[in-house]
Amino acid sequence: MTAWTFFKGEWHEGNPMIMGPMTHAPWLGSCVFDGARAFEGVAPDLDRHCERIVRSAKTFGLKPMYEAGAIEELAQDGIAKFPKGASVYIRPMYWAEEGFVDVDPATTQFSVTVHDSPIPDLSSFSVCLSTFRRPGYETAPTDAKAACHYPNSARAMREAKARGFDNAVMLDPMGHVAELAIANLFYARDGEVHTPVSNGSFLNGITRQRVIALLRKAGITVHERSIHWDEVMAADEVFFTGNYAKVVPITRTETREFQPGPIAHRARELYWEFAHAGKKV
């Protein structure tokens, strides 16, 4: 993997050692990050990803030293280190160097990493219902994109893979569908789209928001509401959105097989049209 990381005013190739055993982030979990993509000469919604990392940092009591516009410029510098049109992942990150339990905001650190990462070609994708649930805002900092959320996602994915599935659908604390372990869930029935309402138990993804807006603009009804698992199982088609793979149809949910459907295809088509209409990188 080719990677470049900006840290303390310089770009470093590879995987620089930027944290130690006394650093607050790996010890007590103060790391927040974001993930954007550049591919085919475009970087859709890069500005929104850079805005979100600043919000996430403030949620954790950190003191960002770079605002969104400066982070976007650094990301563009990193993208330029790769061949034109390369598919790369862009990961700005804030964390605390010091503090005990709570962070010392004066010790906030920042990096942005850009590394090669092809968009996966997922011709088939299976999910099962996880026994693990998403936490609510009262029990976890769900209003930030933070590293501390991912061990819970990891155990859901580990459970799913042990059962022969690619990913897991997780419920919220009330027993309603939240999302996949690492992506936002949609289903279509009778020509209309349904997706779990953002209720503080999962990240309201930037790609999710963009796809909802694009579908509505194209005249497709999108319902954001509380959803039960049996509704997903009875759908005409199921798909997910996320920055890593963008828009992907789900072809198996538990024992039910699906063919990639027309609405998922349209959502992906609309997203690619939007992406290529934006600023080139």
Packed helices 46-59 and 206-217: angle between N→C axes, nearest 10 degrees: 140
Q: How far apart are CA 63 and CA 203, in angstroms?
A: 22
Residue 48 belongs to a domain: yes
Domain containing 142 equals: 126-277
Phi first, then psi: give them for residue 140, nearest 5 degrees. Answer: -160, 155
**Is 224 within 8 Å of 99 (Cβ atoms)?**
no
Residue 212 belongs to a domain: yes
Average pLDDT, the chain: 96
Number of domains in the chain: 2
Q: Which residues contact 165 (CB under 8 A, 6 or more apart)?
A: 126, 127, 128, 252
- pLDDT per position as a tens digit, 80-98: 999 999 999 999 999 999 9
Verify that 159 and 214 share a domain, yes or no.
Answer: yes
Give the model's pLDDT for residue 45: 97
Residue 163 belongs to a domain: yes
| Domain finish residue from 84, 116, 148 | 116
Looking at residue 32, which CATH number applies to its domain?
3.30.470.10
Give the model's pLDDT for residue 1: 84
Verify that 193 and 266 share a domain, yes or no.
Answer: yes
271 CA to centre of own chain: 16
- pLDDT per position as a tens digit, 144-158: 999 999 999 999 999
Verify that 62 and 41 share a domain, yes or no.
Answer: yes
Residue 25 belongs to a domain: yes
How large a percentage of the chain has pLDDT more than 70? 100
- pLDDT per position as a tens digit, 21-46: 999 999 999 999 999 999 999 999 99
Residue 31 belongs to a domain: yes
Verify that 86 and 159 share a domain, yes or no.
Answer: no
Give the model's pLDDT for residue 276: 95
Cα dihedral sign, 222-226-229-234: negative
Residue 121 belongs to a domain: no
Q: How far apart are CA 81 and CA 119, in angstroms?
A: 19
Verify that 103 and 30 share a domain, yes or no.
Answer: yes
Please determine, for residue 279, whether its predicted confidence score (pLDDT) is greater than 80.
no
Residue 201 belongs to a domain: yes
Verify that 48 and 160 share a domain, yes or no.
Answer: no
| Domain finish residue from 77, 92, 116 | 116
Give the model's pLDDT for residue 123: 84
Residue with tokens 């599935």: 165
Looking at residue 220, which CATH number applies to its domain?
3.20.10.10
- pLDDT per position as a tens digit, 221-273: 999 999 999 999 999 999 999 999 999 999 999 999 999 999 999 999 999 99
